[in-house]
Amino acid sequence: MDTACYLEPTWNAGRDFAQREIMGELVMLNLLRFREIADYSQNPELTPSQPITGAEAYDRYVAHTLPHLRKSGGDILLMAEAGAFLIGPEGERWDRAMLIRQKSRGAFLAFAVAEAYLAGTGHRTAALADSRLLPLVELPR
């Protein structure tokens, strides 16, 4: 099993996404695995007065992010408890899955670099042990 953790896009993945010809809305599939206890060592200014779980830190990230996401034309379509795969690698599990709708690739890119949004991303960093982010584009019917 792959033991690497993925918390941020690589330069190549970011470039490829920015150059991808996506017309209209897209949905981001997020798979999230939380730390047992949130680690605020990279963002000590956001450290709560008492230790909190990774899930609690991620909830703080969502509370911070949602107004910025909505202002950019996006929203949460689904936030759900996850677990082990029914079909997939045995022993691999995710704590939460989310589907985030964004009105366009450009709107997502602008949102992702906005200073007001970035001010709270330390909660995400503190929360996550691993993650996946998969952009989805709906097929014509």
| pTM score | 0.92
Concatenating the DSSP letter of every residue in 62-123 gives HHHHHHHHHHTT-EEEEEEE--B-SSS-TT-B-SEEEEEEES-HHHHHHHHH-HHHHTTHHH
* Residue in the block written with tokens 């936030």: 79
pLDDT tens digits, 11-66:
999 999 989 989 999 999 999 999 999 999 999 999 999 999 999 999 999 999 99
CB 91 within 8 A of CB 2: no
Please name the amino acid found at residue 87. Answer: I
CA distance linking residue 21 with residue 135, whole number of Å: 12
